[in-house]
Amino acid sequence: MDLKGKKVIALGDRDGVPGPAIEECLKSAGAELVFVTTECFV
Amino acid sequence: MNDAVIKGAGYVLAHVPNLTYELGSTQVMERKKNPDSEYLKKLKRHLRNYEEALAYAPFQAYIGNITPDELSEIPRPWYEGEKIQPVREGRYGEIVPEDEFYAWMLLVDTFDLVWLEDAYLAELRPRLEKHPLIAPPDLKKLGNGKSRAEIEERVEAGGAQPLYLGDRLVGCVRRAHELDENLSAHVIAENMATKASAVLALRHLLAKSGTDPQTVDYIIEASEEAAGDMNQRGGGNLAKAIGEWAGCLAATGSDTRAFCAGPVHALVHAAALVKAGFYKNVVVVAGGAVAKLGMNGKDHVAKGMPLLEDVLGAFAILVAENDGQNPVLCSDSLGQHNIGSGSSPQAVMQALVAHPLERLGLKLSDVDKYSVEMQIPEMTEPAGAGDVPTANYKMIAALAVMRKEIERSQIPEFVVKHGMPGFAPTQGHIPSGVPFIGHARDLILTGKLQRTMIIGKGSLFLARMTNLFDGVSFLIEKNPGRSDVSGVGKDALKKLVADALRQVAANLAPAGE
């Protein structure tokens, strides 16, 4: 999937992959992060 | 080094299906958004009764009737059928039923905020009289209750949180201020439940460890609730409020907050206070989180399961000066997630697990058992969060692969050997590292375990004040014996040398004459 220039909402998981880590990956793929959060279900 | 020791542990669950329905945040939000919600209609049919909760194997592991390894032998799903003997009392505490728990809330209330119906209290009294941790002054404090009409009037007027047992209104929690939302009936009910469950855990700890309450010097409370008013929302010191109801009259205390990592931070503080000589006996205590009851309930109901998040969890751990016997909390083993550590799962595990072991010259496999986030997997899997403890163990095993300690193919074996199944309810701070400490103490004292690592993690970003993650860890090990024993040895040695010199002198004397 080409993420360059795409607007992305990233929802991370506390015990999985947290939001900031997703953000770093997607930024490097050229995506624009419009909202990043990490949720906790435990 | 005379590190502090773990001298005892108390673990308690309160089975509270009605509080779950009324006050769990998932249910409260649903009621606000959609009062005619299908979920809320179905939910009551998915609530477990007390006997079913007692027969839930992970709960029996939490209160100490089976070990986590024994739990892993019981086939899942644990919620189907009676797979274990349903027992109320455990090696570390008990599972208290909701009707009695309301009485504990009334007992620890010092502002006449919890009201229970007179007829209901009269029904309950014979059982309360038999409870080993309820003394005659407690029964006197409970009083005779309020009339049904008085309670109904308060509830109907608003400003009082009803307390139900099924469809029966048996009491209420009144608001403590007309306008201050920090003292609303809902918040007071939450905090009173936290306090009551913590008091119960503390009383169990003291009774089971044979500790005179008056010998406790300091209490650190590590729940996740904020107790205060509009001018100091998290003013706190629930620690003293709890100690007051467990006879710890010679203790002072304070609270430590760090989301789910709070208890492990608190244990580090406790061990430091003891080792530094400020106090001899420090208790770390935490009560349950009402808001988290039924947190993943929608998915439990949607999948036709019983609503498993129906208990409040509480614990109390006694950290004491080194007695040469009890397992030590190793002060040189601290792991911590620093502000600059980074939030990727790998960075977190490096900071909490790999770095401290590296510093000590230990391998990851030198730790017999890791106590991570010990949530019961059946509670989190339906909502898509997976088996949290196993995910943590896989991450530790992956670190071992990266450090070339094990082969990639050995990851499953590492997970089984150094891990254990989750056996604590999803109560935030309650499953975070601390549930294993009671078991670990027993296993170390009986020679079945040498070393365990306790890991607590916290989601600081939930308060929207930082995006940082948090975590802290330490090792608990078999006590090598007091280091001041060598001091006694030196004295003895000096005496031996002095005696020998005197004998030599005595023998030499005649020759000189």
Q: Whole-angstrom Cα distance, residue B178 to residue B161?
A: 14
Alpha carbon of A22: minimum distance to chain B alpha carbons (Å): 9
Q: Give start and end residues of each alpha helix (H) in B177-282.
A: 185-208, 238-243, 262-275
Report CB contact under 8 Å: B344, A18. yes
Contact (CB, 8 A) for B1 and B332: yes
In this complex, the residue of B295, B391, B431 whose CB is nearest that of residue A41 is: B295
CA dihedral B121, B122, B123, B128 (to 10 degrees): 70
Contact (CB, 8 A) for B281 and B213: no
In this complex, the residue of B343, B345, B373 whose CB is nearest that of residue A42 is: B373
Using CA atoms, how far residue B103 sits from B96, B125, B172, B231, in Å, is 11, 9, 12, 30
| B97 phi, psi to nearest 5 deg | -75, 160
pLDDT at B422: 98
Task: Evaluate the CA torsion angle B407, B408, B411, B413 in order and state its sign.
Answer: negative
pLDDT at B212: 98
Report CB contact under 8 Å: A15, B343. no
Please list every residue in chain B whose beta carbon sits closer than 8 Å to the beta carbon of residue A25: none
Q: Whole-angstrom Cα distance, residue B86 to residue B68?
A: 17
Contact (CB, 8 A) for B165 and B134: no
In this complex, the residue of B343, B380, B388 whose CB is nearest that of residue A20 is: B343
Helix pair angle (B38-46, B25-33), 10° resolution: 150
Report CB contact under 8 Å: A41, B344. no
pLDDT at B513: 39
Q: Considering only CA atoms, which of B117, B118, B102 is closest in space to residue B193?
A: B102
Question: What residues 1-42 of chain A have any CB closer than 8 A to a CB of chain B?
Answer: 13-21, 37-38, 40-42
- Who's near A2: CB < 8 A, 6+ residues apart? none
Beta strands in B24-128 (DSSP E): 93-96, 114-116
Q: Whole-angstrom Cα distance, residue B100 to residue B106?
A: 10
Report CB contact under 8 Å: B260, A18. no
Q: Is the peptide bond before B77 cis (omega within 30 degrees of 0)?
A: yes
Domain borders along chain A are 7-39
Q: Whole-angstrom Cα distance, residue B123 to residue B203?
A: 24
In this complex, the residue of B295, B373, B385 whose CB is nearest that of residue A13 is: B385
Report CB contact under 8 Å: B385, A20. no
**Domains of chain B, each with CATH number or no CATH:** 5-113+175-482 (3.40.47.10)
pLDDT at B509: 59
Q: Whole-angstrom Cα distance, residue B31 to residue B386?
A: 27
| B264 phi, psi to nearest 5 deg | -70, -40
Give ipTM to 2 decimals. Answer: 0.76
pLDDT at A27: 94
Q: Considering only CA atoms, which of B189, B170, B265, B184 is closest in space to residue B223?
A: B265
Please list every residue in chain A whose beta carbon sits closer than 8 Å to the beta carbon of residue B343: 18, 20-21
| B346–A contact, CB cutoff 8 A | no
Alpha carbon of A29: minimum distance to chain B alpha carbons (Å): 18
Please list every residue in chain B whose beta carbon sits closer than 8 Å to the beta carbon of residue A23: none
Neighbours of A16 (CB within 10 A): 17
In this complex, the residue of A16, A17, A42 whose CB is nearest that of residue B426 is: A42
Beta strands in B256-393 (DSSP E): 281-286, 311-320, 328-329, 335-336, 369-371
Interface probe for A, chosen from B296, B308, B457, B461 (most Cβ of A below 10 Å), is B461
Report CB contact under 8 Å: A16, B386. yes
Interface probe for A, chosen from B298, B343, B423 (most Cβ of A below 10 Å), is B343
Report CB contact under 8 Å: B343, A18. yes
Q: Whole-angstrom Cα distance, residue B263 to residue B27?
A: 27
Question: Which H/E stretch holds residue B221?
Answer: strand B218-221
Contact (CB, 8 A) for B29 and B299: no
Query: In chain A, which residue's Cα lies nearest the Cα of B393?
Result: A15
pLDDT tens series, chain B, 513 aa: 699 999 999 999 999 999 999 999 999 999 999 999 999 999 999 999 999 999 999 999 999 999 999 999 999 999 998 899 999 999 999 999 999 999 999 999 999 999 999 999 999 999 999 999 999 999 999 999 999 999 999 999 999 999 999 999 999 999 999 999 999 999 999 999 999 999 999 999 999 999 999 999 999 999 999 999 999 999 999 999 999 999 999 999 999 999 999 999 999 999 999 999 999 999 999 999 999 999 999 999 999 999 999 999 999 999 999 999 999 999 999 999 999 998 888 889 999 999 999 999 999 999 999 999 999 999 999 998 899 999 999 999 999 999 999 999 999 999 999 999 999 999 999 999 999 999 999 999 999 999 999 999 999 999 999 988 999 999 999 999 865 544 445 566 566 667 777 776 776 655 443
Question: What residues 380-419 of chain B have any CB closer than 8 A to a CB of chain A?
Answer: 380, 383, 385-386, 388, 391-392
Q: Considering only CA atoms, which of B19, B8, B47 is closest in space to residue B312?
A: B19
Task: Evaluate the CA torsion angle B412, B415, B418, B423 in order and state its sign.
Answer: negative
pLDDT at B482: 65
Rg (CA), chain A: 10
A–B: how many Cβ contacts below 8 A? 46
